[in-house]
Amino acid sequence: MARRPDDNLQSGPQRLAALVRSTVPPVHSAGIPFIAAGMAVAALGRNHRWVRRAGLAAAGANAGFFRHPNRTPPTRPGLVVAPADGLVCLIEEAAAPPELGRGSEVVPRISIFLSLLDAHVQRAPVGGEVLAVEHRPGSFHSADLAEASADNERNSVVIRTPEGHEVVVVQIAGLIARRIICDVHPGESVKLGDTYGLIRFGSRLDTYLPAGSEVLIELGQHSLAGETVLARLP
């Protein structure tokens, strides 16, 4: 069938829109008020160049911070993926947070530090049933310090896989982060890589693995939430 002269004109904008959707990540809903505030400042200061620029810069910075990129989890069974973007800063043996009532047994723990430049949405490291969600107030030390796991404000989520393995993932507030958002509740089901929360601004995620898990990531690596494999379950 012969192509009409305007076919390329019609498909060009569509291709551009598809390119933008694939390269510019969407924004988490928690960031909308911050972006809107920056845009409002820019609009109110439209007659003052520095105010307008400051408002636009703030809106752009918040759009970057609250970005919610699409991720494709691995399909192999028995894997634990990173719950957050960031730097793997600790791999050690430790007991889960005491408020979960899991005793003093030490298990593998992997800690990921999120800088201001990392995407700050959190994703489920495994799929399964949410058994518990426990929030504990605390301090606001720098999240890259070892004592942050014990002292800082945190929110713990326990997920049990269909095979019966239980994985604990802990959102930890940092020096600047003062707000932990968790959108899951006990009894709900999550899929591997599902977005379940967010911390603003700068934070840390600890993942506690079942005993006998094989850690597959190394200290100093940078993880991508929902994609980077942390470990293989027993």
Please count the other Cβ atoms lying within 10 Å of the Cβ belonging to residue 45.
16
Does residue 73 sit within a domain?
no
Q: Mark whether 224 and 164 lie in a shared domain.
A: yes
Q: Which domain holds residue 61?
A: 7-65
Tokens of 215: 């850690």
Residues 148 and 120 in one domain: yes
User: In whole angstroms, how far apart are CA 121 and each of 20, 26, 155, 156, 213?
Assistant: 21, 12, 14, 15, 25
Number of domains in the chain: 2
69: pLDDT confidence band, cut at 50, 70 and 90? confident
- C-alpha distances in Å from residue 114, one per residue of 83, 134, 144, 171: 11, 21, 9, 11
Q: For residue 68, is pLDDT > 90? A: no
The H-or-E segment that residue 21 falls in is helix 7-23
Residue with the bigger pLDDT between 202 and 5: it is 202
Q: List, edge to edge, every strand of the sheet that includes 179-182.
A: 121-123, 195-200, 179-182
Domain match, 102 and 176 both: yes
Domain of residue 187, CATH code: 2.70.70
State whether 189 and 107 are in the same domain. Answer: yes
Catalytic residue among 111, 203, 213, 223: 203
For residue 116, what pLDDT is reported?
77
> Is residue 149 annotated as part of the catalytic site, yes or no?
no
Confidence of residue 9 (pLDDT cuts 50, 70, 90): very low
H or E element that contains 182: strand 179-182
Same domain, 44 and 117: no
* Residue 6: Cβ within 10 Å count: 8
For 174-205, how does the pLDDT look when each residue is reduced to its tens digit (9 = 90+)? 666 567 889 999 999 999 999 898 887 667 89
Residue 22 has pLDDT above 50, yes or no: no
